[in-house]
Copies of this chain bind each other. A is one copy, B any other.
């Protein structure tokens, strides 16, 4: 297998954290997003939708979409389970992963893409007013998550899962998206510190 990776982008980071939690090491090839290498025809043959990461399987087929790649890795390396144990728990992990993706990750990513000068070449045109509205959405999601985290250690329950990865990577992107994380969210802060201390995240 070969993983097309981009060191500073949020989606490849989700996959890297996931792999590190699994203790799985994959050969990688770096795609230079700032040089727009993913917009060139060579990469379009890997992923016509031009997104990174992409995982080339041993039979040459290409699996894209971070969460699909992670789930495939989960099947190859079931321990520790990062998509939940058993059917019921897996359903709720998927719910939380998607809640974090749509309520938090997406607003933060949109705020970044529609306001950061470096994104002007990719997001054409940018809509700064839309970015600003997304900032409020993201903060709303943080307040909601803070309440949820009042009675448990992780986003989806008492175990670290893909939902924590999605939420954590979203918060990491807040700086570039110019979103302030409110200081009156103690559960969110405690959770964030505990995730940030994991070796997989420190890498």
A residues neighboring B (CB under 8 Å)? 48-49, 57, 61, 63-65, 67-69, 71-72, 75-76, 87-88, 90-92, 94-95, 98-99, 103, 125, 127, 129-130, 133, 144
Contacts and interface: CB of A to CB of B under 8 A. Distances in A.
Contacts of A99: 49, 64-65
A95 B68 contact: yes
Task: Please give the count of copies of this chain that the complex contains.
Answer: 2
Given A127-B127, A127-B129, 18 more contacts: A48-B144, A49-B99, A57-B88, A63-B91, A63-B92, A63-B95, A65-B94, A65-B95, A65-B99, A67-B94, A68-B91, A68-B95, A69-B91, A72-B87, A75-B90, A75-B91, A125-B129, A125-B133
The residue in A91, A94, A98 that gathers the most chain B C-beta atoms within 10 A of its C-beta is A91
Nearest to A127: B130
Contacts of A94: 65, 67-68, 71
A117 to B, nearest CB: 18
Contacts of A48: 144
Nearest to A48: B144
26 contacts: A48-B144, A49-B99, A49-B103, A57-B88, A63-B91, A63-B92, A63-B95, A64-B95, A65-B94, A65-B98, A65-B99, A67-B94, A68-B91, A68-B92, A68-B94, A68-B95, A69-B91, A71-B91, A71-B94, A72-B87, A72-B88, A72-B91, A75-B91, A125-B133, A127-B127, A127-B129
